[in-house]
Amino acid sequence: MVSHVLAPEDDRNRQGDSSMSTQQLTELVRAAQGGDPQAQDRLLAHHLPLVYNIVGRAMNGHHDVDDVVQETMLRALAGLGDLRARTASGPGWWPSR
């Protein structure tokens, strides 16, 4: 399902889709929460460049960056069901706990 998104050697994964609107992202999150594997892949691919950037800087280019990024993305995917849309306070998503 998400194996091609988590492969760091795949250049298309690092580019993401920065042109996605808030509405499109909301629809994508909802579809991914509903179990749509294509939506899950697209959502992960959208956020992968940012996660690589943050983890890579935090780990100062350590050789385990890819493993940490993969674990982070898998945890994010597993936690999709716990997200709820922010409505009154603006766009975005928050854990429901």
| Both tokens assigned to 82 | 């716990």
Q: Buried b vs exposed e over 19-36: b needs ≥16 C-beta within 10 Å?
A: eeeeeebeebbebbbeee
Task: List the alpha helices (DSSP H) in the chain.
Answer: 11-15, 22-33, 37-58, 65-78
> Average pLDDT of each block of 10 consecutive residues along the chain (97 residues)?
42 52 88 94 93 95 94 92 66 52
- Give the pLDDT score at 32: 94
CA torsion through residues 38, 24, 17, 59, sign: negative
Which amino acid appears at position 1 of this protein? M
- Give the pLDDT score at 93: 54
